[in-house]
């Protein structure tokens, strides 16, 4: 027995049988109970993928953080090879990474792409957008007020706000939202067939390439034009396909995630009236409330997918080279070793160390924008509608248990 193996707390043959990723919760505000049991008893456990592959599930905060901090050992390049929820066809697994889609790249290529954008997403630049985001939020709240009560908070507020913001930032015509929102929904729907996913990706690719060609012909002040312009005289200029890949990632990541946080975060506050009352009494709590809602809801519920490039020990377990690994942000953000009473929502807890945006070099590029959208969004929503309430029984709420990004399909509200 090697030194490494002797440190294993549980020999592989004493681990529970490989099991599918616990995904559907008994209580929709909380992670599946099994995820918590695994974190407590077998924090690195064997995961059975739909295609029959056996990989690993990592659930403890310290282990998830350590894993995500090591992108060389835990590669993102072939991370879609084994999806814990839906089986991918063989030819899909073997596709080369889409150019510019740097979420699927490793260092140093990942850093090459990311550095083209980090100057565009600084805290200062995002802060400079605050007046415009205030205006977008105010307009959307007036739209809701004129329409209701009742209104659908998702369709009338949570989705339009970040969609408008990211469209303006990138230079995408918001009138095209019907198309890109539908393709994104197909892409994220866990029940979509591989053919449907492929068709949606093709549509989005073509949409983004058309956008790049259009900005080449008629530049504007927005980010896609800025990226094109920045390639003049660059040592290694980006191709149109790469710029389109970057825009694809920013558009999807920029509207779906924040939209779901605005919708689910609102319901979470309505479901915890004592916490909501504190926020209404002291709106300056919104900054820490946003961090707590991010931690509590952890909407990327599938987790972060990685593939090991070498044999590696994590949490005392030895994982072979070439293994598929799921790092569960959801389980990590509810780890009692990191957060006291992790299953309680406490908007004053100062949950700054949550990893809802991930960790390591892949940590969300747009997180400072998302924070500002949420801070302004929640604050103005409850100022405009202090008596906001769910317009349907809680049991009738349509949760996004069928989507790669958690949240609500709709949220009928009254005031």
Partner 1 sequence: MRVELERDRCCGAGMCVLYAPEVFDQDEEDGLVLLKIAEPPDSSLDAVRTAAGTCPNSVISIAG
Q: Which is nearer to partner 1, 116 or 266 (CB)?
A: 116
Q: Which is nearer to partner 1, 124 or 236 (CB)?
A: 124
Q: Is 371 in the site for partner 1 (CB under 8 A)?
A: yes
Q: Is 115 in the site for partner 1 (CB under 8 A)?
A: yes
Q: Which is nearer to partner 1, 9 or 119 (CB)?
A: 119
Among 7, 132, 310, 353, binds partner 1 (CB under 8 A): 353
Q: How far apart are CA 162 and CA 70, in angstroms?
A: 31
Comparing CA positions, the residue from 83, 82, 112 lying closest to residue 99 is: 112
Q: Which is nearer to partner 1, 51 or 111 (CB)?
A: 111
Among 359, 379, 380, 400, binds partner 1 (CB under 8 A): 359
Stretch that binds partner 1, among 293-301, 306-314, 364-372, 394-402 (CB under 8 A): 364-372
Among 162, 171, 358, 377, binds partner 1 (CB under 8 A): 358
Q: How far apart are CA 346 and CA 271, in angstroms?
A: 13
Closest separation between CB of residue 226 and partner 1, Å? 12
Residues 297-336 that bind partner 1 (CB under 8 A): none
Name the one residue in this structure whose structure tokens are 């924040």.
Answer: 258
Closest separation between CB of residue 69 and partner 1, Å? 7
- Residues in a beta bridge with 56: 46, 325
Q: Is 122 in the site for partner 1 (CB under 8 A)?
A: yes
| 54-58 and 151-152 beta bridge pairing | unpaired
Q: Is 50 in the site for partner 1 (CB under 8 A)?
A: no
| 317-319 and 312-314 beta bridge pairing | antiparallel
User: Per-residue DSSP letters for 65-126?
Assistant: HHHHT-TTTEESTTGGGS-SSSPPPHHHHTSPPPTT-GGG--TTHHHHHHTTTGGGS-HHHH
| 324-327 and 54-58 beta bridge pairing | parallel
Q: How far apart are CA 75 and CA 159, in angstroms?
A: 32
Q: Which is nearer to partner 1, 101 or 145 (CB)?
A: 101
Q: Binding residues for partner 1, per CB under 8 A? A: 69, 111, 114-115, 117-124, 126, 352-353, 358-361, 363-365, 367-368, 371
């Amino acid at each position: 027995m090697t030194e490494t193996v002797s440190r294993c707390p549980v020999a592989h043959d004493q681990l529970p049988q490989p099991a599918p990723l616990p995904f559907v919760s008994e209580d929709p505000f909380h992670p599946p109970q099994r995820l918590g049991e695994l974190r407590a008893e077998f924090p690195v456990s064997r995961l059975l993928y739909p295609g029959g592959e056996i990989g690993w599930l990592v659930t403890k905060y310290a282990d998830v953080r350590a894993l995500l901090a090591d992108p060389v050992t835990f590669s993102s390049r072939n991370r879609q090879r084994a999806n814990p929820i839906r089986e991918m066809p063989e030819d899909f697994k073997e596709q080369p990474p889409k150019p510019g889609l740097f979420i699927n790249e490793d260092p140093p290529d990942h850093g090459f792409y990311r550095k083209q954008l980090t100057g565009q997403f600084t805290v200062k630049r995002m802060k400079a957008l605050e007046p415009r985001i205030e205006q977008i939020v105010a307009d959307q709240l007036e739209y809701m007020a004129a329409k209701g009560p009742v209104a659908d908070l998702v369709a009338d507020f949570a989705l339009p706000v970040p969609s408008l913001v990211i469209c303006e930032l990138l230079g995408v015509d918001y009138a095209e939202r019907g198309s890109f929102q539908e393709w994104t929904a197909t892409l994220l729907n866990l029940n979509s067939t591989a053919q449907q996913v492929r068709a949606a990706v093709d549509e989005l690719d073509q949409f983004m390439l058309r956008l790049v060609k259009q900005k080449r012909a008629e530049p504007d002040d927005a980010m896609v034009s800025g990226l094109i312009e920045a390639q003049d005289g660059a040592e290694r200029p980006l191709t149109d396909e790469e710029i389109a890949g970057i825009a694809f990632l920013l558009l999807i990541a920029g509207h779906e995630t924040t939209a779901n946080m605005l919708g689910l975060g609102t319901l979470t506050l309505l479901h915890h009236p004592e916490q909501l009352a504190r926020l209404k009494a002291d709106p300056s709590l919104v900054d820490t409330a946003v961090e707590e809602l991010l931690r509590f809801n952890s909407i990327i519920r599938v987790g972060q997918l990685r593939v090991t490039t070498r044999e590696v020990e994590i949490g005392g377990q030895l994982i072979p080279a070439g293994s598929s690994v799921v790092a569960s942000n959801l389980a990590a953000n509810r780890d009692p070793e990191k957060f006291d009473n992790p299953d309680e929502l406490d908007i004053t807890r100062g949950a700054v160390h949550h990893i809802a945006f991930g960790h390591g070099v892949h940590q969300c590029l747009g997180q400072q924008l998302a924070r500002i959208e949420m801070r302004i969004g929640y604050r103005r929503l409850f100022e405009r509608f202090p008596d906001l309430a769910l317009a349907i029984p809680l049991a009738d709420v349509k949760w996004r248990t069928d989507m790669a990004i958690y949240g609500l399909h709709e949220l009928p509200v009254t005031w």
